[in-house]
Structure 1
Amino acid sequence: MKAVGIILAGGNSNRMKELSRKRAIAAMPVGGSFRCIDFALSNMSNSHVQTVAVLTQYNARSLNEHLSSSKWWDFGRKQGGLFLFTPTVTAENSDWYRGTADAMYQNIDFLKKRHEPYVIITNGDCVYKMDYNKILDYHIEKKADITIACKDMPVGSDVSRFGVIRMNEDSRIIDFEEKPLMAQSNTISTGVYVIRRRQLIEILEKAAEENRFDFVNDVLIRYKNIKRIYAYKTNEYWSNIASVDSYYQTNMDFLNPEVRSYFRAEPKIHSKVDDLPPAKYNTGSDVSNSLIASGCIINSKVENSILFKKVFIGKNCVIKNSIILNDAYIGDNTHVENCIVESRGTLKANTYYCGENGIKIVSEENERYML
Structure 2
Amino acid sequence: MADPRVLGIVLAGGAGTRLAPLTADRAKPAVPFGGVYRLVDFALSNMANSGILKICVLTQYKSHSLDRHITTTWRTSTMLGNYVTPVPAQQRLGPHWYTGSADAIFQSMNLINDEDPDLVVVVGADHVYRMDLRQMIAHHIEYGAGATVAALPVARQDAKAFGIVGVGSDGRSIQNFLEKPAEPPPLPDSPDESFASMGIYVFDTKVLTDGLRRDAEDDESRHDIGGSLVPLLVGDGGAQAYDFLTNQVPGQTDRDHGYWRDVGTIDAYFDAHMDLRTVEPMFNLYNSRWPILTHTPALPPAKFVHDNGDRVGRAIDSLVSNGVIVSGGLVRESVLSPGARINSWSLVERSVIMHNTTVGRHAVVRDAILDKNVLVPEGAQVGVDKEYDRARGFVVSPGGITVVGKGQEVPQ
TM-score (structure 2 length as normaliser): 0.83
Mapping for residues 95-244 of structure 1, pairs under 5 Å: 95-154=96-155, 156=157, 158-170=158-170, 171-181=172-182, 183-185=184-186, 186-211=194-219, 212=221, 213-235=223-245, 236-244=258-266
* CA–CA distance in structure 2, aligned partners of residues 228 and 265 of structure 1: 37
How far 1:342 sits from its partner (Å)? 1.5
Amino acid at match of 1:55: L
Mapping for residues 258-337 of structure 1, pairs under 5 Å: 258-259=281-282, 261=284, 264-283=287-306, 284-299=312-327, 300-337=329-366
Amino acid at match of 1:13: G
Q: Report how many aligned residue pairs link the two structures.
A: 367
SS of the aligned residue for 2:227 comes to: helix
SS of the aligned residue for 1:49 comes to: coil
Work out the percentage of aligned pairs sharing the same amino acid: 27
Q: Which is further off, 359-368 or 183-192?
A: 359-368
Mapping for residues 330-345 of structure 1, pairs under 5 Å: 330-345=359-374
Amino acid at match of 1:353: V
For the pair 1:253 / 2:255, whether they are aligned, the reply is no
RMSD of aligned alpha carbons: 2.3
Q: Is the 8 A contact 1:331 1:348 kept in 2?
A: yes
Q: Which has the higher contact order (CA 8 A, sep 6+)?
A: 1
* CA–CA distance in structure 2, aligned partners of residues 277 and 76 of structure 1: 31
Q: Specify whether residues 75 and 7 from structure 1 end up closer, same or farther in structure 2 by C-alpha distance, changes over 3 A only.
A: farther
1:71-125 Cα shifts (integer Å, max 9, x gaps)? 55x45444131121111245x5221111111111111011011132000000000
Q: Specify whether residues 89 and 229 from structure 1 end up closer, same or farther in structure 2 by C-alpha distance, changes over 3 A only.
A: closer
Mapping for residues 349-368 of structure 1, pairs under 5 Å: 349-354=378-383, 358-363=400-405, 365-366=407-408
* CA–CA distance in structure 2, aligned partners of residues 286 and 101 of structure 1: 49
How far 1:184 sits from its partner (Å)? 4.2
For the pair 1:8 / 2:11, whether they are aligned, the reply is yes
Q: Is the 8 A contact 1:87 1:95 kept in 2?
A: no
Q: Is the 8 A contact 2:334 2:351 kept in 1?
A: yes
SS of the aligned residue for 1:153 comes to: strand
* CA–CA distance in structure 2, aligned partners of residues 258 and 265 of structure 1: 15
* CA–CA distance in structure 2, aligned partners of residues 116 and 122 of structure 1: 16
* CA–CA distance in structure 1, aligned partners of residues 244 and 197 of structure 2: 10
* CA–CA distance in structure 2, aligned partners of residues 174 and 103 of structure 1: 26
Q: Specify whether residues 155 and 89 from structure 1 end up closer, same or farther in structure 2 by C-alpha distance, changes over 3 A only.
A: closer
Q: Specify whether residues 323 and 38 from structure 1 end up closer, same or farther in structure 2 by C-alpha distance, changes over 3 A only.
A: same
Amino acid at match of 1:250: A
How far 1:258 sits from its partner (Å)? 4.1
